[in-house]
Chain A
Amino acid sequence: MTTPTTNTVLSPELLSRLSALRLKAKTVVDGVLSGLHRSPHHGSSVEFAEHKEYAPGDEIRHIDWRAFAKSDKYYVRRFERETNLRAMILLDASSSMQYKSTAATASKWEFAQELCAALSYLLLRQQDAVGLTVIDQEVQQYIPPRSHSNHLVNVCETLVSCTPKPHVGTQLVVGTNQLLEVFNQRGLVFVVSDFMDNDSRYFTALRQLRSRKQKVHLLQVLDPWEIDFPFSEMTLFRSLETGQNVLAEPRFMRETYLRELRRFIDELRQNCLESGFEYRRFNTQMDLTVALTKMIAGSSQSDGGVEHGI
């Protein structure tokens, strides 16, 4: 298998298109670096936020005298305090992510790589700190969040260097538990996976992260054939994770499969809704730029909660 380079992960075309994007997270995080994110703490920032009628205790230096001249009332100028964002990307590198149907232009892993790189780029471009954790059944790679511009190279190299191993299952809980240990500040958590994990404890960990005022995004990556199950001939399905073989007549079981998949997605979405997570579903057949645009547009319009699939 050829090892993709940074350039292959982030193509110039993608990079150019991503440059126009702005990630506007709703969650306001405390950060060391200034960025575009609004802080709930009004302080000594240069950017005016609003006027407030003076009350005792307000600093006198923030009284807007112009406003006083006009209205003969004391108004205090309030400034938004610009903070940097700490985002953590949890990427699933289990074997199931290797799946790529002929209908898709990339495997789920490749799509997830691009998605993670794009997210990192966007965040770093906003001077936000980005970290990456690659997991399968254990943590393969961990990059702590950084905001310097060269950090993207680290992220991309890590993405390229990691490859799903054959017959390795998904243990998202390993990654989420690690996040609980090292990521105790408010921020963003992106979980990029197909979520085909029988162990649902990761959801508990994510809820704990959410309780720490961290915004959790579940980005589910699925292949179009996984969604549509268009098989017609008798097929011997071989599990990418367990190697288990299932000889099946797809015509007879398509309906049941789709029902099972729908039930799974609905359950995941419902859990996200109940837990206050953002949920996005990506089809590897779709254009990543469009998908990101829609995701960000959806995020800007909603104030938390779940977003349905693209």
Chain B
Amino acid sequence: MEFESPAFLWATLAALIPVLLHLIARRRARVHDFAAIEFILGSNKRIARRLKVRQWLLMATRMLLIGALAFAFAKPYRITSEEGLPATAAPTSVVLVIDSSFSMGIAHEDESLLERAKARALAILGELRNESDIAIVDVGYPARALTPRLSFDRQITKTVIKDIEQRTGRADMQAGLRLAEQMLSGSTKLRREVVILTDLQAFEWADLIQPWSVVRAPEFTVVGVRNDTQSWNLAITDVAVQPGSTPNVHATHVTVSVLNDSPKRVDGVVTVRIGDKAAKGVLKMEAHQTTSKEFTIQLGEDSPNHGIAEISADLLPEDNRFSFVVQSQRETQVLIINGAARSVPYLDETFFLRAALQPDTDSHTRINVSTVKPDEFTPAQLIYVDTVILANVAELDESQSRALLRWVRSGGGLLLTAGENTAKDGEKDTLRSLYPLPVRGIRNVRERPVFWTSVDGSHPALSPFSALSNASLYSAETHQYVLLDTAPWPETSVLSRFTDGAPALVERRLDDGVLMMLTTTIDRDWNSLPFKTSYLPLVQQLVLYLAGRLESPRPHSIHVDQVRTVPLDRDVDSVQVNTPDNRTVRIAAADMPRGEIRFQDTRIPGLYTVTQSPKHNTTELFTVHIDPMESKVVAAEQATIERLLDTTDGNQTSSLAKAPPQEKRGRRGNMWPAILIALFGLLGVEAWLALG
């Protein structure tokens, strides 16, 4: 209980006046010698008790009267436990900033924090003076103003508050406060208030900076709607899937990370399901720690490529489920046509090449290499091939070269590497159409070896070397190479040159396909590149680039409200996205101008399916998850909030001004009107007791 005029409380001592008067009257009672004392005694016996009670009541009533009058003059008011507007009677411009983020979905006794915040907001709305105006800002990402400006229309504001929906993303407190600033900038009221109704989630306050630039900052109230019982949460924050390597039976390893955001250790049961396969285990989770557990599930060929991990439910069940995609290893089929095969392995033209392309089980991309001699190469082999490497091939027959050219034009990737055969047969017509540039001959620079330089770092295949100025690629000596025509050629670009200016790596696009030519050998005959560490990434980059799979696999998991970009295949007419809530979103070609779609409606956590049709009819899966930060429900420290509310930075006064210290926060209820009403009642009682 607070008082507007606490000095009047001293006047409550006047309540002792009836006692003093009673004592004085008792002392000054007129003494009268009386004969008929028996009748006084008799009547006193009968009414003495009643009289005494009445006299005490009368005195108590008079004391109450005086005390209550002094109390009323002190103007008491009550600050309820529910925080709200500062206790003030002045007209105020108020912006209610309501947090509708995911963490506000914590339910307690069938009421979520958001529902509680809305109830508080409605209560504050009801307390506003008629001269006060109000606006509503929802800081659930993306933050937005629910009322275009400060409004006096209580009914509309009430409807807006009631219609606020629970979000699954995080809160954008910074943006919300900026919106509040914009709202209040046009206010002419003397008092301006920003009331934030939130669960005080710690990270929302961690990086908050001053949102106000105006000199006259509003007063700032933070209303925490969460109690202690709602400050703990279990959440699955990540699921990492490692597919097995066995061709038919995949021993898939699923690692589930669980956050125990509570002050005590918790044992939880984690279940992982992929199709009809399931694994279950108990996870012992320390307080405020993220604990991981790996499950191994044997999947068959017909197993689905997605699953779900779950943990026992708590007050915030939405983050106890985590959908994931089982990534299949992307196999790249590479066909090497070896033009200089040798029986001695290390003398073979493709010895180093095949070693560099050896599949790596830890890699997301697996490269299957098959090697044929030129005369063994048939066009039918191109059906299952992503990249073809002509390694020092001297000659192909016309059907071979024509099929190869057609394959390239249809989207294939071809890498030609030079050698003595290239030079020998360089002018033959069978391969001329495949060379990116005309071959002028072989240049021997053994006396003065040349080095790689002018590497095009913007090219996807060479981008890893752009940031490495001292990469071993630049120290590899090349003492012989095929000299290509340097004249400009359509659709052809030189990706790297030797230090003498001759092209080292050339790319030419042929319709939908790409062919590249390395003007020196892929083995150690003309250069020392195979001995350099840059050799392996260079070779793999080139192969994957030509296979169209160079781009690192897009993450299969995004957070709520993040945008999912899906590159489109060629000749896609429409894209269909199936959402977890069984909605189907169709995107027409007109809405995909840049060869990709940006899917933004990711507010529902779960599995999304993107189907491109009709030509390829490819399907891609991705999952949307709750932001792990939203699962951390630990409230911000009081000191942190106070620091944000009351910071002074040099000459600039903090815009997050704190209310004057003499003003208490909370819902104010004036008590003195009730006391005055009670005074009238007391007056009646006093009169009845005195005259009765």
Contacts and interface: CB of A to CB of B under 8 A. Distances in A.
Interface string B403-415: 0000000000000
Interface in B204-225: none
B117 to A, nearest CB: 60
Contacts of A260: 39, 42-43
11 contacts: A99-B34, A226-B36, A231-B32, A236-B29, A236-B30, A236-B32, A237-B33, A238-B37, A248-B40, A256-B43, A261-B36
Contact of A236 (B31, B42, B43, B47): B31
B41 interface: yes
A95 B33 CA distance: 10
Given A246-B44, A252-B54, A253-B47, A235 B38 contact: no
B45 to A, nearest CB: 10
B594 interface: no
Contact of B30 (A95, A108, A234, A261): A234
Given A253-B47, A256-B46, A257-B43, A241 B37 contact: yes
Contact of A252 (B26, B42, B47): B47
Interface string A228-260: 000101111111111010111100110011011
A224 to B, nearest CB: 12
B249 interface: no
A253 B43 contact: yes
Contacts of B51: 249, 252-253
Nearest to A238: B33
A59 B57 CA distance: 87
Contacts, number: 91
Contact of A257 (B25, B26, B31, B40): B40
Nearest to A252: B51
Interface residues of A, number: 35
A247 B38 CA distance: 13
Q: Give chain B's interface secondary structure class.
A: helix
A248 B32 CA distance: 11
A2 interface: no
Given A236-B29, A239-B35, A241-B37, 20 more contacts: A96-B35, A194-B35, A196-B35, A196-B36, A196-B38, A233-B29, A233-B30, A235-B31, A236-B30, A238-B37, A240-B34, A240-B37, A244-B41, A249-B51, A249-B55, A253-B40, A253-B43, A257-B36, A261-B36, A264-B39
A150 interface: no
Interface residues of B, number: 23
Contacts of A236: 29-32
Nearest to A99: B35
Nearest to A198: B38
Chain A CB within 10 Å, residue with most, of B32, B35, B54: B35
Contacts of B44: 246, 248, 253
Contacts of A252: 47, 51, 54
Interface in B335-362: none
Interface of B: 25-26, 29-44, 46-47, 51, 54-55
A226 B31 contact: no
The 9 A-B residue pairs with the shortest CB-CB distance, nearest first, are A256-B43, A96-B35, A239-B37, A99-B35, A260-B39, A236-B29, A237-B34, A253-B43, A236-B31
A218 interface: no
Interface of A: 95-99, 108, 194, 196, 198, 223, 226, 231, 233-242, 244, 246-249, 252-253, 256-257, 259-261, 264
B546 to A, nearest CB: 116
Contacts of A238: 31-34, 37
Contacts of B26: 234, 247
A66 B574 CA distance: 169
A234 B25 contact: yes
Nearest to B25: A234
Contacts of B33: 98-99, 237-240
Given A253-B43, A256-B43, A260-B39, A247 B29 contact: yes
B22 to A, nearest CB: 9
A97 B26 CA distance: 28
A252 B39 CA distance: 14
Contacts of A223: 35
Contacts of A253: 40, 43-44, 47, 51
Nearest to A260: B39
A261 B229 CA distance: 74
A153 B368 CA distance: 162
A223 B46 CA distance: 24
A263 B593 CA distance: 116
